[in-house]
Chains A and B, each alone.
Chain A
Amino acid sequence: MSAIVLEAKHINKSFHDPITIPVLKDISFQLRESEFVSIIGKSGCGKSTLLYILSTMDTDFEGELLINNQSVVGETDAALALIRNQHIGFVFQFHYLLNEFSVLKNVMLPGLKLGQYSAAEVEHRAYEKLRILGIEKEALKKPNQLSGGQKQRVAIARALINDPLLIMGDEPTGNLDKKNSAIVFDIFKELAASYKQTLLIVTHDNEFAANTQRIIEMEDGKIIN
């Protein structure tokens, strides 16, 4: 049996503005190495909220969260930043590329921050990721010179730069057409299969979900399947 990469134990979350509404109710599940999992559910059922908690960006919740067998509850801002930097790659519906930097530099930034490799090596690795995603020709352009699908692939390359254990996506194909979302799906599948990375992808695209190894279905803040 392969190693557990992420473990959520009895996670509860409520919003208190303006009245207390529970959004996540007793969420528990595990993700293993090399798994390709999708989360589906009706709009407003708490998928994004769950993903922000799992990615350590949102610390305001009850319950236990272990990433790479390490509890993240009560960790400092800097320690959580390091966990995100090293172990988690996040792809959003919107690409969030920095227009001040070239495509290449955008991909390199998290790698430079981690500082595991020299700047030259990080650059080499960034080219490598861009090549996997088929956009190495665009490396020296500014993000605003790319098409929507290309930008999304740059954002994926950025998520991959530090070879994270876990790649999370919040509707990463939501803004893409059929063809581009098929490309992204194939990339994800390849990452899980060849690079042993774990993927957790929120999607509304049932066809996309059906092709993943496992589907987590949510309703009203609970996992129902």
Chain B
Amino acid sequence: MKYKLIADIAKSLLLARWKQTLIAAVGVTFSITMFITLLSFMSGLNNMLDGLILNRTPHIRLYKDIKPNAQQPITLAKKRDTTYNFIHSIKPKRERIELFNSATIISALKEDKRVLGVAPKIATQIFYNVGVMNITGVINGIDIEAESKLFFFKDYVVAGNFMDLKNVTNSIILGKGVADKLMLNIGDVIQVTTNKGEQLPLKVVGYFQSGLLDIDKSQSYCSIATTQKLLGEANNYITDLQIKLKDVALAPPMAKEMQEKFGVDAIDVQTANAQFETGSSIRSLISYAVGITLLIVAGFGIYNILNMMIYEKMDSIAILKATGFSGNDVHAIFISIALSIGIVGGAGGLLLGFGLSSIIDQIPFNTASLPTVKTYPIIYNPTFYIIATIFSVVTTYFAGFFPSRKASKIDPVIIIRGK
């Protein structure tokens, strides 16, 4: 086949009808623009919403749950085949929620290639004392560096310096809601009481705002050492290990594995936050559905223009066939027309889509619950552009396929006889 000649003929037919072809191409451009913008924006939004929870949620959390022992004394007795043991109202025995062998677990995890990092934590219930009022709350004793590196702690400290938590002894970073309620400023001292009755004055060095009101109204952060001191525990007392993996998809099987290996409880992020996964995937699904619908509409535009062109150019097609062009040549001519509309329109759409999402990226978007977000969230992902390119080429190919086949099947005798 003579590609140059085919392309040449296609070009001439296309230019002879440039207004209609332009409109068809603009249809493709529009749909690709929307497709790119929608996906970039939606996934930006997804990321932001996921980040709200998932950024700060460990992929696997190791802890010790308070629950009745699975090995009750009766099971130690010799079992007879014909009997069953039924035990009612089992209660957990008094047990500490400490991870006893935390040091060994940490060093084992650091060896593991799949693990990105481990942050130890102590979570404890306390009371904030203001005058005669006691407000319940939670203090998280954290390893500041690890917490910052793995869970972006620093991004959520809205006032004060997060490193003061480590550098200033007996310091605390209060949840923004707690600070507002207690009317405390940075530099003030707050009394906290543990549930065993021990009291400790702590110096406020910053505020913390997660974006989730419930958390900000009750939680605060201290260093691990301060928390241990508050609880009167030794310096190896840890209640939680927060693990971040290189590949979050591995979390469920690894959680199970760790549960068996270390003899502790383990929960993975997928199980703990199943609803977020669903939300994200549905939002992506909607963006893809809208984008593809737009493309199909554009495809019909191309289908129409080609049909019209073929109807108008019956004579030309007949004479091309009479002078030695085969059905395949004619098919190739019209497919080239369709594809060039798709490629030109699609390329325009990629550029405009990039432009439009950059503009949205500049629009200010301030919300109290999201201190880190200043403009509308946009994600620039090459995958979207690749998918858009493939889609525009594939849809225009199919839109062009049937008209082209019709053109290739035109019988010159019928046309010429008709004159």
Contact = CB atoms under 8 A, between A and B. Distances in A.
Given A100-B12, A112-B2, A113-B329, A82 B324 contact: yes
Contacts of A86: 324
A195 interface: no
Given A92-B416, A96-B315, A101-B12, A57 B323 contact: no
A58 B318 CA distance: 13
Interface in B273-321: 315-316, 318-321
Contact of A110 (B9, B323, B411): B323
Interface in B8-27: 9, 12-13, 15-16
B417 interface: yes
B262 interface: no
A107 B411 CA distance: 22
B323 A109 contact: yes
Contact of B419 (A77, A93, A98, A109): A93
Interface in B160-178: none
Given A57-B413, A112-B2, A112-B5, A90 B16 contact: no
B322 interface: yes
Nearest to A97: B319
B354 interface: no
A159 B9 CA distance: 19
Contact of B319 (A77, A96, A112): A96
Contacts of B12: 98, 100-101
Given A100-B16, A101-B12, A113-B5, A85 B323 contact: yes
A94 B419 CA distance: 8
Max chain A C-beta neighbours (<10 A), residue from B320, B321, B324, B416: B324
Contacts of A101: 12
B120 interface: no
Contact of A84 (B2, B9, B316, B322): B322
Nearest to B9: A109
B182 to A, nearest CB: 82
B3 to A, nearest CB: 11
Given A48-B417, A100-B16, A113 B328 contact: no
A206 B321 CA distance: 31
Nearest to B415: A96
A159 B324 CA distance: 11
B364 to A, nearest CB: 52
B412 interface: yes
A113 B324 contact: yes
Given A100-B12, A112-B2, A84 B323 contact: yes
A110 B324 contact: yes
A57 B412 contact: yes
Interface in A70-103: 77-78, 81-82, 84-86, 90, 92-94, 96-101
Max chain B C-beta neighbours (<10 A), residue from A52, A99, A113, A158: A113
Contacts of A85: 323-325
B323 A158 contact: yes
B2 A115 contact: yes
A96 B313 CA distance: 11
Contacts of A77: 326-328
A114 interface: yes
A55 interface: yes
Contacts of A55: 322
Contacts of A84: 322-324
A105 B419 CA distance: 24
Interface of B: 2, 5, 9, 12-13, 15-16, 315-316, 318-329, 411-413, 416-417, 419
11 contacts: A52-B417, A57-B416, A77-B328, A81-B324, A81-B327, A92-B416, A96-B416, A98-B316, A109-B320, A110-B323, A112-B5
Given A81-B324, A96-B316, 6 more contacts: A57-B322, A92-B416, A100-B316, A101-B12, A110-B323, A113-B2
In the A-B complex, the 9 residue pairs with the smallest Cβ-Cβ separation, listed nearest first, are A85-B324, A81-B326, A96-B319, A100-B12, A78-B326, A110-B323, A100-B16, A84-B324, A94-B419
